[in-house]
Amino acid sequence: MKVFTSAIRIRSSAKTEEVNITNQVEAVLLESGIHEGQALVFTGHTTASLHLNNADKDLEEDFHNFLKEIVPNNPNYKHNKGEYGRNADAHLKSLLVGNSVTIPVTKGRLALGQWQAIYFSEFDGPRSRLISIKVFGVSEKSER
Protein backbone atom coordinates (compact mmCIF):
# COMPACT_ATOMS: atom_id res chain seq x y z
CA MET A 1 0.00 0.00 0.00
CA LYS A 2 1.15 3.48 -0.86
CA VAL A 3 0.66 6.54 1.37
CA PHE A 4 0.88 10.03 -0.12
CA THR A 5 0.88 13.13 2.10
CA SER A 6 0.23 16.68 0.97
CA ALA A 7 -1.47 19.88 2.07
CA ILE A 8 -3.35 22.79 0.58
CA ARG A 9 -3.54 26.30 1.94
CA ILE A 10 -6.58 28.48 1.55
CA ARG A 11 -7.34 32.03 2.59
CA SER A 12 -10.88 32.62 3.76
CA SER A 13 -12.27 36.07 3.02
CA ALA A 14 -15.10 36.43 5.55
CA LYS A 15 -15.97 35.73 9.20
CA THR A 16 -18.03 32.71 8.12
CA GLU A 17 -17.72 31.11 4.73
CA GLU A 18 -17.94 27.88 2.77
CA VAL A 19 -14.99 27.11 0.49
CA ASN A 20 -15.41 24.30 -2.04
CA ILE A 21 -12.02 22.54 -2.03
CA THR A 22 -12.99 19.57 -4.21
CA ASN A 23 -10.77 20.60 -7.13
CA GLN A 24 -7.72 21.08 -4.89
CA VAL A 25 -8.22 17.66 -3.29
CA GLU A 26 -8.65 16.06 -6.73
CA ALA A 27 -5.36 17.66 -7.81
CA VAL A 28 -3.60 16.09 -4.81
CA LEU A 29 -5.17 12.73 -5.64
CA LEU A 30 -3.92 12.98 -9.23
CA GLU A 31 -0.43 13.86 -7.98
CA SER A 32 -0.48 10.85 -5.63
CA GLY A 33 -0.85 8.32 -8.43
CA ILE A 34 -3.17 6.25 -6.27
CA HIS A 35 -5.84 4.42 -8.27
CA GLU A 36 -7.83 2.59 -5.56
CA GLY A 37 -8.02 3.53 -1.87
CA GLN A 38 -9.16 6.48 0.16
CA ALA A 39 -8.40 10.14 0.73
CA LEU A 40 -8.40 11.64 4.22
CA VAL A 41 -8.86 15.41 4.34
CA PHE A 42 -8.18 17.00 7.75
CA THR A 43 -7.99 20.44 9.31
CA GLY A 44 -6.19 20.99 12.60
CA HIS A 45 -7.92 24.33 13.13
CA THR A 46 -10.37 24.47 16.04
CA THR A 47 -12.55 27.21 14.56
CA ALA A 48 -13.10 25.58 11.17
CA SER A 49 -14.48 22.32 9.81
CA LEU A 50 -14.67 19.98 6.84
CA HIS A 51 -17.74 18.25 5.49
CA LEU A 52 -19.41 16.91 2.36
CA ASN A 53 -22.46 18.68 1.01
CA ASN A 54 -24.41 19.58 -2.10
CA ALA A 55 -22.47 22.11 -4.18
CA ASP A 56 -25.10 24.85 -4.00
CA LYS A 57 -24.49 28.51 -3.04
CA ASP A 58 -27.93 28.88 -1.44
CA LEU A 59 -27.34 25.80 0.69
CA GLU A 60 -23.99 27.23 1.81
CA GLU A 61 -25.81 30.29 3.16
CA ASP A 62 -28.59 28.16 4.68
CA PHE A 63 -25.95 26.03 6.44
CA HIS A 64 -24.33 29.04 8.13
CA ASN A 65 -27.70 30.55 9.04
CA PHE A 66 -28.73 27.24 10.61
CA LEU A 67 -25.51 27.03 12.63
CA LYS A 68 -25.92 30.64 13.73
CA GLU A 69 -29.40 29.79 15.05
CA ILE A 70 -28.35 26.72 17.02
CA VAL A 71 -25.00 28.16 18.19
CA PRO A 72 -25.26 31.91 18.69
CA ASN A 73 -22.19 33.70 19.98
CA ASN A 74 -23.42 34.00 23.55
CA PRO A 75 -21.46 36.65 25.52
CA ASN A 76 -21.95 34.50 28.64
CA TYR A 77 -19.81 31.65 27.29
CA LYS A 78 -16.76 31.42 29.56
CA HIS A 79 -14.42 31.33 26.55
CA ASN A 80 -15.80 34.70 25.43
CA LYS A 81 -14.87 36.23 28.77
CA GLY A 82 -11.35 34.80 28.78
CA GLU A 83 -8.06 35.82 27.27
CA TYR A 84 -8.60 33.91 24.00
CA GLY A 85 -11.09 36.19 22.34
CA ARG A 86 -14.77 36.19 21.63
CA ASN A 87 -15.09 33.21 19.31
CA ALA A 88 -16.64 30.47 21.44
CA ASP A 89 -19.34 29.98 18.82
CA ALA A 90 -16.71 29.19 16.18
CA HIS A 91 -15.21 26.48 18.39
CA LEU A 92 -18.63 24.96 19.13
CA LYS A 93 -19.64 24.95 15.45
CA SER A 94 -16.39 23.19 14.62
CA LEU A 95 -17.15 20.52 17.23
CA LEU A 96 -20.58 19.91 15.71
CA VAL A 97 -19.47 19.71 12.08
CA GLY A 98 -16.15 17.89 12.52
CA ASN A 99 -12.58 18.27 11.34
CA SER A 100 -12.16 15.58 8.69
CA VAL A 101 -13.75 13.67 5.83
CA THR A 102 -12.73 10.39 4.23
CA ILE A 103 -13.62 9.79 0.60
CA PRO A 104 -13.24 6.52 -1.32
CA VAL A 105 -10.90 6.59 -4.32
CA THR A 106 -12.09 4.51 -7.27
CA LYS A 107 -10.26 4.29 -10.60
CA GLY A 108 -8.14 7.31 -9.69
CA ARG A 109 -11.10 9.56 -8.89
CA LEU A 110 -12.82 10.72 -5.73
CA ALA A 111 -15.95 8.58 -5.41
CA LEU A 112 -18.25 11.44 -4.46
CA GLY A 113 -21.98 11.39 -5.00
CA GLN A 114 -23.39 13.17 -8.04
CA TRP A 115 -23.97 16.47 -6.22
CA GLN A 116 -21.37 16.15 -3.46
CA ALA A 117 -18.47 18.49 -2.92
CA ILE A 118 -15.81 18.77 -0.22
CA TYR A 119 -16.26 21.93 1.81
CA PHE A 120 -14.01 23.79 4.21
CA SER A 121 -16.17 25.74 6.67
CA GLU A 122 -14.71 28.92 8.09
CA PHE A 123 -16.22 30.06 11.38
CA ASP A 124 -13.67 32.67 12.54
CA GLY A 125 -12.14 34.33 9.50
CA PRO A 126 -10.76 35.74 7.49
CA ARG A 127 -7.65 33.61 7.98
CA SER A 128 -5.03 31.58 6.21
CA ARG A 129 -5.77 27.88 6.77
CA LEU A 130 -3.83 24.67 6.18
CA ILE A 131 -5.65 21.50 5.17
CA SER A 132 -3.78 18.19 5.34
CA ILE A 133 -4.49 15.43 2.84
CA LYS A 134 -3.39 11.80 3.04
CA VAL A 135 -4.17 9.42 0.21
CA PHE A 136 -3.87 5.69 0.97
CA GLY A 137 -4.11 2.89 -1.54
CA VAL A 138 -2.58 1.23 -4.53
CA SER A 139 -1.49 2.55 -7.89
CA GLU A 140 -2.93 1.16 -11.11
CA LYS A 141 0.35 -0.62 -11.85
CA SER A 142 0.35 -2.52 -8.56
CA GLU A 143 -3.09 -3.98 -9.32
CA ARG A 144 -1.82 -5.95 -12.30
Q: Provide the pLDDT for residue 143.
A: 53
Can you tell me whether residue 118 is helix, strand or coil? Answer: strand
Which residues make Cβ contacts (< 8 Å) with residue 121, sequence separation at least 6? 16, 17, 18, 19, 48, 49, 50, 51, 63, 93, 94, 97
Quote the mean pLDDT of the chain: 95
pTM given for the model: 0.94
- 112-136: pLDDT as tens digits: 999 999 999 999 999 999 999 999 9
All domains of the chain in start order, with CATH: 2-139 (2.60.120.460)
Can you tell me the distance from the alpha carbon of 55 to that of 118, in angstroms, rounded to the nearest whole number? 8
Q: Provide the pLDDT for residue 142.
A: 65
- 82-107: pLDDT as tens digits: 887 799 999 999 999 999 999 999 99
